[in-house]
Amino acid sequence: MMIENERGYTLVELLAVIVILGIIAVIAVLAVNNIIEKSKQQAFVANALTMKSSAQYYAKDAMLQERQINKITYKELVEAKLIEPILDPHSKTVMTPDDTSYVLADGESVLSICLLGDQYNLCTNEDGEQEEIPFSTLSIQSLKKN
């Protein structure tokens, strides 16, 4: 038996709620993806700062041994056990220690970096030419897509 005062939601009302929830879900997913990408970029810059710290120790050690070093490669830092192999935050692979990523030093001062990842790098200028990024200007904006 049906009672006259029974009320429910119409199909149109239910569809409107589902559409609104869908829109909210899409906005949330886009916002989270943007946050994740920014975090990956910050992690890449943090890797560069880690290389800087390791290179400072390496340069100071070289000064104590009366060696002049201008270019300290990622490979040298890994071999000296001053840094662990870097995990590229974008590709989630370990960057192979090689001579293409390096830090430039002048005595004990570490001046600039060239860090090449799988998808991004900290080593090119607006013209696409390879140019080290000074640590004084290092930021997420310094990242360039390969």
The stretch 1-25 carries a mean pLDDT of 85
Q: If you ran DSSP here, which 8-state letter would residue 136 be given? A: G
The C-alpha atoms of residue 92 and residue 11 are separated, in whole angstroms, by 46
> Is the distance from CB of 45 to CB of 139 less than 8 angstroms?
yes
Q: pTM of this prediction?
A: 0.79
pLDDT tens for 76-108 read 999 999 999 999 999 999 999 999 999 999 888
Three-class DSSP category at 3: coil
Percentage of the chain modeled with pLDDT above 70 = 95
> Which residues, listed in sequence order, are joined to residue 133 by a DSSP beta bridge?
113
Rounded Cα distance between 34 and 138, Å, is 21
Q: What is the pLDDT of residues 107-136, one digit of tens each?
A: 888 999 999 999 999 987 777 788 899 999
- Choose between 31 and 9: higher pLDDT: 31
Q: Which residue has the tokens 């192999």?
A: 85
Instruction: Give 21's contacts (C-beta < 8 A, 6+ positions apart).
Output: none
- The reported pLDDT for the residue numbered 4 is 66
How far apart (Å, rounded) are the C-alpha atoms in residues 32 and 88? 20
Distance separating alpha carbons of residues 146 and 141, to the nearest angstrom: 14
The whole-number pLDDT of residue 42 equals 95
Confidence of residue 64 (pLDDT cuts 50, 70, 90): confident
* Closest alpha carbon to 112 in 46, 60, 61, 55: 55
Q: Is the pLDDT of residue 1 over 70?
A: no
